[in-house]
Amino acid sequence: MGAIAAHGINVTLPGGWDGRITVRDDGAPSGLIAAAGNRVEVLRSHPVVHLANFGLPGERGDFGSGAVELMGDRDVFIVLFEYEPAATATALFQDHGLPRTLQPRDFEPATLRRGIVGQTAHQAFFQEQGRAFCLYVVLGSQARRAALAPIVNRVLATVQIAPRVAG
């Protein structure tokens, strides 16, 4: 088993898994300035966690484009995508705590961001430690979801999220 940790997120991965915690450097400005010269919004990239039981490609989108196309029917791909702290005050993020036990019935092909035949997905929005996240999980096979969901749950059980450090 290996552990990855960055930006207040820690995960212990089973042998053979790949994982990355990154912050996108997309060149976004640090703030928007209104015509009157007032700063109106701070834009900041936040951590994105990618976990998979297959090798992750170097180039991939926030929600797995570039990775999910490589999945076989025994593969799983997990994303934790962090949003702005203010999102915790919205109805979308009203649920508290990372969902750590997913059932096979929680997965539906219609949830896939990219409709790849045979795959299925689950998505949940939540807050933990004052931080807003989306959990997005893709299973390589809808037919094998009963076998694959427990694999996902074992990894989710190891995720630790600390309060965000200002800065």
What is the pLDDT at residue 164?
85
What is the pLDDT at residue 45?
77
Residues constituting the chain: 167
What is the pLDDT at residue 139?
98
Give the integer Cα–Cα distance in Å for 98 and 134: 9
User: What H or E segment, with its residue span, contains residue 82?
Assistant: strand 76-83
What is the pLDDT at residue 68?
96
Cα torsion through 165, 94, 97, 11, rounded to 10: -50
Which of 57, 56, 74, 59 has the alpha carbon at shortest distance from 18?
A: 56
What is the pLDDT at residue 40?
44
What is the pLDDT at residue 114?
80
Q: Which residues contact 34 (CB under 8 A, 6 or more apart)?
A: 40
Q: What is the pLDDT along the chain (167 residues), one digit of tens a residue?
A: 689 999 999 999 999 999 999 987 655 544 544 455 554 454 567 899 999 999 999 999 999 999 999 999 999 999 999 999 899 999 999 999 999 999 999 999 999 988 899 999 999 999 999 999 999 999 999 999 999 999 999 999 999 999 987 65
What is the pLDDT at residue 43?
53
Torsion sign (Cα): 13, 56, 67, 113? positive
User: What H or E segment, with its residue span, contains residue 146?
Assistant: helix 145-156
What is the pLDDT at residue 115?
83
What is the pLDDT at residue 128?
97
What is the pLDDT at residue 46?
87
Which of 82, 46, 85, 61 has the alpha carbon at shortest distance from 138?
A: 61
What is the pLDDT at residue 26?
56
What is the pLDDT at residue 36?
53
Give the integer Cα–Cα distance in Å for 149 and 154: 9
Q: Note whether 63 and 29 are within 8 A (CB).
A: no
Torsion sign (Cα): 42, 43, 44, 46? positive
